[in-house]
Amino acid sequence: MTSIPSTSTFDSTLSSLGIATSGTAAANTAVAASTATGSTTLGQADFLKLMTAQLQNQDPFSPVDNTQMVAQMAQFSSVAGISQMNTTLTGIASKLGATSTSDALSYVGKTVLTQGSTAYARTSGGIAGAVELDGAASDVTVSINDASGNTLKTLSLGAEPAGTATYDWDGTTDAGAAAGNGPFTISVNAQNSGTAVTSRSLVWAPVSSVSLPTGGTPTLNVTGLGSVDVSAVRQVG
């Protein structure tokens, strides 16, 4: 759509649309009616009013050329068709981007990798996780703490590029004892030559169920993490 031109430039705008200046007064009346309704753009109805004003106020000694009129009608039809197509494509894109109920239910019983700081031990002991880095880091460490906040294990991942750095903990503490089944609290620290690098802890956790709100997007109920949006899932195990 085109913004409504000012009064001083209206004649030139009409001319560019192929509307004779002899019809300016009537055309201005059509636009004024649109402006009175609070509209700030010219819609299809407004252009139709302008075209009607052009026909009603054309110079009888120099009428609008038929070819020109057909071209204007064809252009008007094309604009209307494109507008309808954009609306349809927007609806299709919204539908394709949404998570369906069946998609969400397919996660139940699976383990997902998502952002979080709470993890439970695997049946074989220990946990696996990852650190998501927004930039390269010269030193990345992962601290695994118990429910009371005591540090059980500190893992040094060393230098890592931007992206995702994975780790696997065998379930033993720094002292060599078994850490148990958790829950464990994970914290990460990333530095690049002394400068902090933005990072996030990613943990593996099982999906126990799915919430299906009325009229809303389905969300996953993940053990230890609560409600997680499907879009926040990095990997599925």
Secondary structure in 3-state letters for 53-110:
HHHHCCECCECCCHHHHHHHHHHHHHHHHHHHHHHHHHHHHHHHHCCCHHHHHCCCCC
20 has a pLDDT exceeding 70: no
Among 1-5, 60-64, 87-91, 181-185, top mean pLDDT goes to 181-185
* Co-location of 70 and 164 in the same domain: no
Q: Provide the token pair at 135.
A: 């930039």
Q: What percent of the chain has pLDDT over 90?
A: 19
Whether 134 and 229 map to the same domain: the answer is yes
Output the average pLDDT for the chain.
76
Residues 63, 124, single domain; the answer is no
Question: What span, in angstroms and rounded, lies between the C-alpha atoms of 16 and 25?
Answer: 16
Amino acid at 43: G
Q: Please confirm whether the linkage preceding 218 is cis (ω < 30° from 0).
A: no
Adjacent-strand bridge partners of 164: 132
What's the rounded mean pLDDT across residues 101-127?
83
Question: Is 204 exposed, middle or buried, given 0-12, 13-18 or 19+ CB atoms closer than 10 A?
Answer: buried
Average pLDDT for residues 127-148, to the nearest whole number?
Answer: 91
Residue 160 confidence (pLDDT) above 90: yes
- The 10s digit of each residue's pLDDT in 191-211 is 999 899 999 999 988 888 888
- Same domain? For 123 and 164 the reply is yes
Number of domains present in the structure of the chain: 2
pLDDT at 53: 76
Q: Is 131 in the same domain as 195? A: yes
Residue 195 burial by CB count (10 A; 0-12/13-18/19+): exposed, middle or buried? exposed
Any idea what the CATH number is for the domain that residue 165 is in?
Answer: 2.60.40.4070
Among 46, 76, 96, the domain-final residue is 96
Q: Collect contacts of 9-18 with beta carbons under 8 A, ≥24 apart.
A: 14/50, 17/47, 17/50, 17/72, 18/54, 18/64, 18/68, 18/71, 18/72
| 106 plus 220 within the same structural domain | yes
Task: Find out whether 105 and 219 touch, Cβ atoms under 8 Å.
Answer: no
Domain that residue 165 falls in: 101-236
Average pLDDT over residues 219-227: 85
Question: Of 69, 96, 123, at which residue does a domain stop?
Answer: 96
The whole-number pLDDT of residue 22 equals 45
- Whether residues 128 and 208 share a domain: the answer is yes
Q: What is the pLDDT of residue 39?
A: 55
Give the model's pLDDT for residue 6: 45
Whether residue 35 is found in the same domain as residue 62: yes
User: Quick one: tokens of 175?
Assistant: 């002292």
> Which amino acid is located at 36 in the chain?
A
d(CA 67, CA 69): 5
pLDDT score, position 36 = 55
pLDDT score at 137: 93
Rounded-to-5 percentages of helix, strand, coil across the chain: 35, 35, 30
Q: Which of 14-28, 71-85, 124-138, 164-178 has the lowest mean pLDDT?
A: 14-28
Do 83 and 114 have their domain in common? no
Reading the block at residue 23, the tokens are: 């019809």
- In this structure, are 218 and 132 located in the same domain? yes
Q: CB under 8 Å to 221, separation ≥6 — which residues?
A: 207, 208, 209, 210, 211, 227, 228
Same domain, 26 and 85: yes
Per-residue pLDDT, 192:
93
Picking from 96, 124, 148, the residue at the C-terminal end of a domain is 96
Tell me the two tokens of residue 125: 């002991």
Same domain? For 79 and 128 the reply is no
